[in-house]
Chains A and B, each alone.
Chain A
Amino acid sequence: MLSRTNPTIIVVLVAIAILFLVPTGMTSNPYHLLVLTNICIYIIAVSGFRLVATAGQLSMAHSAFMGIGAYTSALLVTKLGWNFWYCLLLAGMVPAILAVGLGRITLRLRGIYFAIATFAFALVIWKGWNTFFADVVGRVTDIPPPNRIGGWEFSSVTSYYYLALVLMLVTMLVMYRLDRSRFGLILRCMASNDALSGSVGMNIMGYQIAAFAIGSFFAGMAGAVHVHWLRLMEPNMFSFTAMLYIILYAVVGGMKSFMGPLYGCFFFIGLPQFLKYIPNYDPKVEPVIFGSILLLTVRFMPGGISALLQRISEVIKGLHRRKVKEYAAT
């Protein structure tokens, strides 16, 4: 039976099991859990961005939507005392609705206009935050931990890690299903040639707006999870620089595969943890290193890490096939 089971499924199950067992097994250093939680949160956000990119559009508003989701949730929980779980959903819905509005205006035009408009939107939100909103609502502090569900509480590092992990896995599952579905196929069609797709009757606007809305939903949700994790929200948290990093994680991870965001986030959030062991290392140089990696990736390895892994697995399969042939020939 084992030889007929798809090896990929086994690898995936083992990986998930490892992720769940991390808090129990590891060096019981809570810092590692913090890093992993951060990674999970960003995987959610970047997956949303990658979904929009699958439709051929680069949403520069993604970090702003994270911020909007974060603020929505933070305010509703602290000022109105609502249940965290409803706020989490709302944190996704508000950006999604805004995305529909923004999308209707900009998605009927060429991709570059969408990028420009979302960029302008993000800048306005970010700058407006620092000035306008800062006076009105300012920082939100003392965000309480998520409400209990059944017997589970979420105020400890470990429990929040599980929360982020589960949400991340759900997100990945959703992205996997979307990719494999007709929806994903249509998005990819539109990305490669929207004139042709339109001519066979695909509702380009509709699908692109849908992709944008769904992607932004995940951005908002990720923002809310992030902020409830830190128990604090500051206007500067989702700056334009955060947007640059989202693009970085997505592109280097690989835009073609739903696993791309996972690779990208693990790589870029995990890497500094190792880099800091280099003597005299100044973490402030990271953006330069990351920017250079991005340049090299776009130039020489545009498919990103997921494409690289794909090629490696193909090579391995090729070698395996040859070995089987040789073996069968003897």
Chain B
Amino acid sequence: MDEVFLQASVNGILLSLLLILFALGLSLVFGIMRIINFAHGEIYMLGGFGIWVFSAQHHVNYLLAIVLTMAAVALIGIIIERFFLKPFRGKLLSGLIVSVALILILQTSTALGFGFQDKAVPTAPGFEGVISVLGATLSRERVFFIIIAAVLVLLLHLFLQRTKPGKAMRATAQEPDGAALLGIKVDRTCSMAMGIGCALAAAAGCLTGTMFYVNSFIGAPWLMKGLAAIVLGGLGSIPGTIAGGFIIGITESYGSTYIGADFSLTLIFLVLLLVLIIRPRGLFGLPFRQ
């Protein structure tokens, strides 16, 4: 198999999985609280800083560092949700404005706190080197990251389908009043959704930050790709988000490889426009609840 194609494919899978982690957070928050958290990109950025602080600065075991980062960012997310998102549940445009404020605050605080230069996170020991797969050489780190990301997505799926809190979340997303009538604590479910969503985005931030770099401004392009993924998949649909994430991720990977990295963002935007023209509700879109 052509090596370039294989590399692009593997990269595409990795990129897709990371994007899915990010987009699932957006999707969960939207599904349950009916607001798009535009500050989600900054949550992802916090994940990147988290891994830098734990792994690069304090040399904590890499996997442990990921877990710590996810927990810390989840906590931050829950605090944000409680104080700033809760009053605006269901009000899309107000939520957007609040997100804008959060973006300003988060971007600036991290830039002031950690500095404006790019930060590098060294590859964890044991993840170095290359592996040969199907005749092509792939970085071992990336293969591990694929596994980590896939495991996280799977865990989320199992959580939503098999556990009681997960089912409570799905119920709340479908019909909050009905869920409340059944005794589901809507507030707690919303906080949980935010926490999990932020943890996933933080994980994406950790992995991407290690592969590339971290600074206060890496959030915005990811937000755009995440939004494209959930619009493509259908707002409010988890399988849709996964499908959308794969399509966008693979598009970006092949686009970068064969057309040029700069063009990939434009390509994704064109895909987004196409979706909005042809099938606005996305692949698996649920009808909007008023």
Residue A41 is within 8 A (CB to CB) of chain B in the complex: no
Residue A324 is within 8 A (CB to CB) of chain B in the complex: no
Task: Give the residues in chain B near A128, CB-CB below 8 Å.
Answer: 262, 265-266
- Size of chain B's interface in residues, with CB distance under 8 A? 42
Task: Give the residues in chain A near B96, CB-CB below 8 Å.
Answer: 58, 112, 115
Contact indicator per residue, chain A 287-324, by CB within 8 Å of chain B (1) or not (0): 11011101100110010000000000000000000000
Q: Measured between alpha carbons, how far is A9 from B94 in the docked complex, in Å?
A: 33
Identify the stretch in A164-172, A220-228, A243-251 within 8 Å (CB) of chain B at 4 or more residues. A243-251
Identify the stretch in A118-126, A149-157, A175-183, A211-219 within 8 Å (CB) of chain B at 4 or more residues. A118-126
Assess the B104–A105 pair: CB atoms within 8 A. no
Assess the B227–A119 pair: CB atoms within 8 A. yes
Instruction: State the majority secondary structure of interface residues on B.
Output: helix
Task: Give the residues in chain A near B101, CB-CB below 8 Å.
Answer: 248, 291-292, 294-295, 298
- Minimum C-beta distance from B265 to chain A (A): 5
- Minimum C-beta distance from B247 to chain A (A): 15
Assess the A124–B266 pair: CB atoms within 8 A. yes
Interface size range on A against B: 35 or more
Contacts A116-B36, A291-B105; A132 near B276 (Cβ below 8 A): no
Assess the B87–A299 pair: CB atoms within 8 A. yes
Residue A270 is within 8 A (CB to CB) of chain B in the complex: no
In A247-279, the 8 Å CB interface with B consists of 247-248, 251
- Minimum C-beta distance from A311 to chain B (A): 20
Residue A240 is within 8 A (CB to CB) of chain B in the complex: yes
Identify the stretch in B49-57, B106-114, B125-133, B178-186 within 8 Å (CB) of chain A at 4 or more residues. B106-114
Of the A-B pairs whose beta carbons lie under 8 Å apart in the complex, a sample of 11, sorted by A's number, is A105-B273, A112-B235, A120-B268, A121-B269, A123-B220, A123-B221, A244-B104, A282-B112, A287-B107, A291-B108, A292-B101
A109-B280, A132-B262 are known; give 16 further A-B pairs, CB within 8 A.
Answer: A58-B97, A105-B273, A112-B36, A113-B280, A117-B272, A120-B227, A120-B269, A131-B262, A244-B103, A285-B108, A292-B105, A294-B97, A294-B104, A298-B94, A298-B97, A298-B101
